[in-house]
Amino acid sequence: MTEIRLSNLGKDFASFTALADMNMTIADGEFMALLGPSGCGKSTTMNMIAGMLEPTTGSIEFDGRDVRGVPMARRGVGFVFQNYAIFTHMTVWDNLAYGLKARGTPRAEVARRVEETASLLQLSPLLKRRASGLSVNILQRLAIGRSAIVEPAIFLLDEPLSNVDAAFRAVMRTELKQLQRQFKQTMIYVTHDQLEAMTMADRIAVMDHGKLLQVGTPLDVYNNPQNTFVAGFLGSPGMNLMQGHVRQDGSSTAVDFGAHGSITVSDTAIEAAAAKSDGRVQFGFRPEAAAPSQDGALRFPVNFIERIGSRTIVHLGDPDNAIKIIVANQTELPRVGEVLSLDITKGSERFFEIESGQAVGRQSDGLH
């Protein structure tokens, strides 16, 4: 129900810059995930949007209105934290009703919305129960319900599922997405868990060291990482990265990986990128984009085999080129020590500049 625009947003704590120059527009009704490792500035960003922290630089606009100086209570935001804030002496019903009563909502309306929210979050059988006796999983579900029930225009969730168990987390991922579709709020979801970001978000904002690195749909950031950090952070395992030398091979251009083989390329941007770094370029491919083949372009010794249930990860290469590929369990597995020849799926090859780590040959800066 509200568009959020962050312009040159930054936050310093004394001489430490926790966030620098963040530019991003979150559309009305969009589910945006802020994804990045611990300490990258996700919570700092959220706290400024919520009004708990004043920016050092830049502005935050809700539907074109600058909200700097507007206190949290008047911003129309609901906020759910990692540690649920629940009144444990109250019943589930009273916890859900709390925000509506505080706003003077008529009794019948309170009752109707409590029933509705409880049903949505599967809390109906527990409405009469005191919160103090409930499990962590249920308390977090209740915390989400208590924030959602007042239908804030903007819903901010900061790692709300990090304390709940894995099975419950999977259930909640689906429920949160449904909840947002139902209420149509603008939702910002902070997580360091790429699975949560990938499964729930309309778009993902990937951050590292106080910087926004890329914004895009889950598939876009996965398939077209703007730099080597995003390439390695997304995916489990992340994208394989290896350095090669660009050289002319008759009339065509090849990237040479020494004893590991070479691949031919046709994009002149790759040559231009290599010219910046003594002819070197970083080549990237996803573990699932490589398959063992009789006469593949690349060759690596097999180091070990890791079974992960539905699939198997084959670890290959040497310390300079540690490569992982994913194969189906039914595949005949290679032996440790054997040299495996690999084919890389056409169109899935990615290239990055050595010094900057920036992707080669993509026009958009991916930040808007």
As given in the structure block, the two tokens for residue 41 are 């500035």
Nearest residue to 182 (alpha-carbon basis) of 144, 135, 217: 144
As given in the structure block, the two tokens for residue 35 are 């994804």
For ligand ATP, the closer of residues 118 and 221 by Cβ is 221
For ligand ATP, the closer of residues 113 and 192 by Cβ is 192
For ligand ATP, the closer of residues 196 and 353 by Cβ is 196
In the complex, what is the shortest distance from the CB of residue 46 to ligand ATP, in angstroms, rounded to a whole number? 8
For ligand ATP, the closer of residues 38 and 266 by Cβ is 38
For ligand ATP, the closer of residues 52 and 150 by Cβ is 52
Query: Whole-angstrom Cα distance, residue 192 to residue 199?
Result: 13
Query: Whole-angstrom Cα distance, residue 336 to residue 212?
Result: 40
Query: Which residues form the interface with ligand ATP (CB under 6 A)?
Result: 13, 16, 18, 36, 38-44, 192
For ligand ATP, the closer of residues 208 and 353 by Cβ is 208
In the complex, what is the shortest distance from the CB of residue 84 to ligand ATP, in angstroms, rounded to a whole number? 16
In the complex, what is the shortest distance from the CB of residue 177 to ligand ATP, in angstroms, rounded to a whole number? 21
In the complex, what is the shortest distance from the CB of residue 26 to ligand ATP, in angstroms, rounded to a whole number? 17
Count the neighbouring beta carbons within 10 Å of the beta carbon of residue 134.
18
In the complex, what is the shortest distance from the CB of residue 225 to ligand ATP, in angstroms, rounded to a whole number? 19
In the complex, what is the shortest distance from the CB of residue 195 to ligand ATP, in angstroms, rounded to a whole number? 16
